[in-house]
Chain A
């Protein structure tokens, strides 16, 4: 293990092909005789479908068929929801709308044509007669008893009510010394907006009776199962391949209508079928994230210790459940106490249907909402008591190193929140910043300093808590030439695990990094796995690979031991050799590989070949944490926010490749800061999407950010042998409240407690001129 790879800034294996544009995304796949799909989508948020006229479209050049919901009924299964929650109402969710449409962009019909342009032109000619119904987009209205009902068979618009309660509320409520703050926080809807939109190629071969599907997905294995169920095919005859996937952020952790329809059409025609999502479709018909209203009651002592937190969550689910829609807000409840030992908690979550696109997992998935709530709570308490927010946090942290079980029932693995906080205060020069702020305030200038000390839950997760299993598989195969193939059941799509997995295996086997090739995403090539989401890929998938590598080593050590006349336990793998620690007895790695394959002198009981699989079931989640400081300046004439500095100290456990960690943190910060300052995905009261193009939907750009000062602490988790926790979502989870806290801190002299995101300059201007911030 001399070749030092783990912990180094190793360049990404993925990059040369990606940055030269020489790899293959779904749209790069061209098959002979391919047909193309274009969807006709509802322009109404809520309407009865009276009639669909497709005769004109059918006659257009190149058009082979037009299908409607009625054509698919009974022939293609419904879109699945995997969230198995007690009492959950699950409305039927057909791939093409049946009788009613419930959100703008809902697919109503599909045109099949021999060219993509022909399909799109013909789709424009399909006429649908709608009878519009009143649309419901407002959460408060949707839950009121006189609201129109979106799914009539369900009775009302409430899909579920979940309660989470812990601690001694009697004691809290009867304690007259406690102060109480009541506050509503709105966590606005966002569009995940991956660079590559969705896309699918489905290719059914009638002779072989096999269906091959290329999809831009995070979960090829789960998708395979679901598509088999939807199409009624034998699962063993379905293959799903996730080729290069250009980002997803949770939005491709799903099974979508278009995937089902593509499979159906391919089976009808016995030909390959392609559909590539346009950006407009992406903004309206790919899942959205967040969208909660959180009504808080905070009970706290005059010294800053918070004794109880109540929260009523209205979670906007959209019109239907996608794969995990209703499960997302339950993560908010679970993580609502953040890294604070608050003795009493009460959370009631109502999942609410509205005439909007479904919400589902978007980077952080329920945890950014929780972190936003609790980190705003800490700052509001500090403000109320005129204490430094650092002090309030220190007062509420659990003591370091101890295993504690919070009132929510959650127990964290390696808590030491004081450590990251201390480090970020030093890194940012916090005290100096406070002095600068005081000076500037005297001059009427608004500088704001915002803190966020987050903890998140990731490395999802133990199967007992996951709807579809939380284990992961890994295979290591040493080829006869000594090159190494690694197969993972995960499905990375930008994170860089081809690199980190190769680092793990090369270091374990003592072979060159370049000799290791990692494959993932093809269900016929790699063993069944779960996928990439919930910051789980390295912690769960990497661990499976690590164990598979151990099995290879065990076998190779036995072979080498025979050759060397040593004990297997004495041998180490390094520099392409297997040898004793002192190097006195040594055999080339390749020689032992040859032995395994030629199988001339195998020790009794040892099978030929060198391939090992391992399935890792994590005993627990992991809980990365961190502390961030944001510094903002407010233009006191226009309300514009200038992000001046950002400091992030994150503890994601052991770091296998600092460059990959930096990349994840930087991207995560951009998304989290984007929510705080710019992003919002907005429907009007008629359910029309106001941010349906990138002219209106504000995706953050590099030039809007300051330089990020990042640092880490490394507290290894005992949950897996690599000691890694997960880092894919941390930046997004931690940064949003840091920014909002900073802006509210800047505006402190103006006496305003809260402004909802995004902190558009006009809202701040309203406060600056003495008005209410909520006008915009």
Chain B
């Protein structure tokens, strides 16, 4: 429960942070809220020589809207998202997800950017971000680039971020008309993380057929994923109860499923389909006021 010795750095600007990140390379670790990094260090599963605390970079702590897009700074805490009136109105899925994370202490310190960069296979944000077709901004000494959420999660706790890159923001496309979204989760009773977590955003066209649907699933496999097989079954179709159920049955198609003390792989697959169906039903209800 005591980490190995490390040096602490507290850059005052993004430039300085980028410089330190480049300078320390493999030996350095960025720290945002510290709520994933510090537990790993205390268990000595991570032992960075240098900890670069991003906490002072207040320029990365914001939620704003421009041209219909919403942009959220990487250091925005779970609680800031949970309590944002802008998000509650424009993108309820995000506050709904935030509410499901950990406890009040965790939500007050943990950050959106930290969670995404950490890419825990049972974290909540990845599913939400996937469902929203978000884009993720990465800054490096050489400039910045935007990465589509779909391309961001690469594998077990690995992302598309390159060495030397800092995740600085997440942006979300505007909510289409006649759209609804939601996040549903079954909590693991010990950790509170997702046994299964499902984010859904769904939009209907004039004919009340499904025009767009994006389903992000976490907790089931080594990384969060889009339930593409389900989406394909639904696109362009009228959302009957039967169709939703049939499509949802494919929620874990092709996914290498986790198994642990709480839930076997088979049960997890089953949970994925039930939770995807329920999330679809709820999102549909919201799209059809």
Contacts and interface: CB of A to CB of B under 8 A. Distances in A.
B274 A696 contact: no
Nearest to B103: A701
Contacts of A760: 262-263
B43 A698 contact: no
A698 B267 contact: no
B1 A279 contact: yes
Given A696-B191, A704-B189, A682 B264 contact: no
A752 interface: no
Contacts of A677: 189
Contact of A690 (B2, B186, B261): B261
B270 interface: yes
Given A694-B190, A695-B190, A696-B191, A278 B1 contact: yes
Contact of A121 (B5, B190, B270): B5
A121 B1 contact: no
Contact of B2 (A117, A680, A704, A775): A117
A121 B262 contact: no
Contacts of A694: 190-191
Nearest to B191: A695
B1 A638 contact: no
A640 B186 CA distance: 9
A72 interface: no
Given A637-B274, A696-B190, A762 B5 contact: no
Contacts of A279: 1
B101 interface: no
B4 interface: yes
Interface in A694-715: 694-701, 704
A95 to B, nearest CB: 22
Contact of A762 (B2, B192, B262): B262
Contacts of B2: 116-117, 120-121, 278
A426 interface: no
A698 B190 contact: yes
Interface string A681-697: 01000000011011111
Main secondary structure of the interface of B (DSSP, over half): loop
Nearest to B277: A637
B271 interface: yes
A372 interface: no
Interface residues of B, number: 22
Contacts, number: 58
A762 B270 CA distance: 10
Given A116-B2, A121-B4, A762 B263 contact: yes
A678 B191 contact: no
Interface in B1-29: 1-2, 4-5
Main secondary structure of the interface of A (DSSP, over half): loop
Interface in B27-62: 43-44
A342 to B, nearest CB: 36
A525 B152 CA distance: 64
A412 interface: no
Interface in A118-138: 120-121, 124
Interface in B250-283: 261-264, 267, 270-271, 274
Contacts of B186: 638, 640, 761
A762 B261 contact: no
B5 A765 contact: no
Interface string A746-776: 0000000000000011100100000000011
A465 interface: no
A682 B4 contact: no
14 contacts: A121-B4, A278-B1, A279-B1, A637-B274, A638-B271, A678-B190, A695-B190, A695-B193, A696-B190, A698-B189, A700-B189, A760-B263, A762-B264, A776-B264
Interface of A: 116-117, 120-121, 124, 278-280, 637-638, 640, 677-678, 680, 682, 690-691, 693-701, 704, 760-762, 765, 775-776
Across the A-B interface, the 7 shortest Cβ-Cβ residue pairs: A278-B1, A698-B190, A698-B189, A678-B189, A695-B191, A762-B267, A120-B2
Given A694-B191, A762-B263, 16 more contacts: A117-B2, A117-B5, A279-B1, A280-B1, A637-B274, A638-B271, A677-B189, A682-B261, A694-B190, A695-B191, A697-B190, A698-B188, A700-B189, A704-B189, A765-B270, A776-B264
